Amino acid sequence: MTESTCLNMPMVTSPEFWRNYAESCAGKGPSRAFHGQNWDKAAETYDDLETCHDYQNQLDTVISTLLEKGALDRENSVLDVGCGTGTYAVRMSQLVKEVMCLDFSEAMLGQLKAKIASSGISNVTAILTDWRAYEPDRQFDLVFCSMTPLLRHMQNVDKLLGCSRRFVAIISWAGVKSNPLFEAVYKEIFGKKDENPCMDILPLFNYLYTKGFAPDMHFFNACWERTRGVDRQVEAMLWQFELKRELGDAEKRLVRQMVEAQARDGLITVKTRVRLAFLMIDKEMARKPC
């Protein structure tokens, strides 16, 4: 008896298995992450990440790897899906012919547009739309998608693949995310540990692998250390908690109290240990004649 007939479910070696697995995990994730307005609240503080040494290293490694592989080239076009404030798009724009940025948060795109205007970039376009509803009418040499909840659903990943002429690059969580302050406050408010099983590279990698790709993978083991004012830290944390559900006034006060308790002279330093995966597909490798 084969595994599939025995369990009456698709085999672990089939993309269908991983598509279903990803879907079953995604159902447990915060559904509020699928509304653009909920990301608007993150736009103001999002680029604080760029003050982290390890994050700058990650940005440099991603860009230099894409260059090395030929995904970034003077003649190339790039689509950045869920581009946020354009952290990657702005860097890539210096190295390619054009970058099309797509995001469903007006405030995130507002930050990107401010960067475009202040640095005189002329080859980046910003489109306000939901990737799930977007109907692509062309392909791009590189399709890039970093750290978005879109990666929980494999039909969104299929759409990334379909839009790419050659390269697809993806960045996602890889099993490690730990921030003691966040965890302590989360437990006070929600009464349990935060479990976020869906934002992980595992089902995504396996899905792509069982589809016949052999993605290159690089892992970033990082410590994101950010020092911010109390108000800014509270704002950033409230946004994360409110991806789960709206908080009441007493709960918001509790967040502030717990942040203030760890602050010195109005500033607080927060460390987050993370591991991220940077995955890259070159569709031409799979087509290489044998």
Ligand X SMILES: C[S@@+](CC[C@H](N)C(=O)[O-])C[C@H]1O[C@@H](n2cnc3c(N)ncnc32)[C@H](O)[C@@H]1O
Interface contacts to ligand X, rule CB under 6 A: 36, 39, 82-84, 87, 102-105, 108, 130-132, 146-150
Of residues 146 and 206, the one with the C-beta less far from ligand X:
146
Of residues 149 and 215, the one with the C-beta less far from ligand X:
149
Question: How far apart, in whole angstroms, are the C-alpha atoms of residue 144 and residue 90?
Answer: 13
Question: How far apart, in whole angstroms, are the C-alpha atoms of residue 18 and residue 152?
Answer: 11
Give least dist CB 252 to ligand X, A.
Answer: 22
For 14, 168, 282, the CA distances from 288, given in Å and listed in that order, are 22, 17, 11
Give least dist CB 23 to ligand X, A.
Answer: 16
Give least dist CB 81 to ligand X, A.
Answer: 7
- Token pair 């976020």 is found at 196
Of residues 108 and 210, the one with the C-beta less far from ligand X:
108
Of residues 104 and 186, the one with the C-beta less far from ligand X:
104
Question: How far apart, in whole angstroms, are the C-alpha atoms of residue 18 and residue 118?
Answer: 43
Helices (H) and strands (E) in the chain, counts: 12, 7
Q: What is the DSSP string of 109-178?
A: HHHHHHHHHHHT--SEEEEE--TTT----S-EEEEEEES-GGGGSHHHHHHHHHHEEEEEEEEEEEEEEE
Give least dist CB 222 to ligand X, A.
Answer: 14
Which residue sits closest to ligand X, CB atoms considered?
A: 84
For 37, 134, 229, the CA distances from 62, given in Å and listed in that order, are 28, 26, 30
Give least dist CB 131 to ligand X, A.
Answer: 4
Of residues 133 and 290, the one with the C-beta less far from ligand X:
133
Of residues 147 and 230, the one with the C-beta less far from ligand X:
147
Give least dist CB 40 to ligand X, A.
Answer: 8
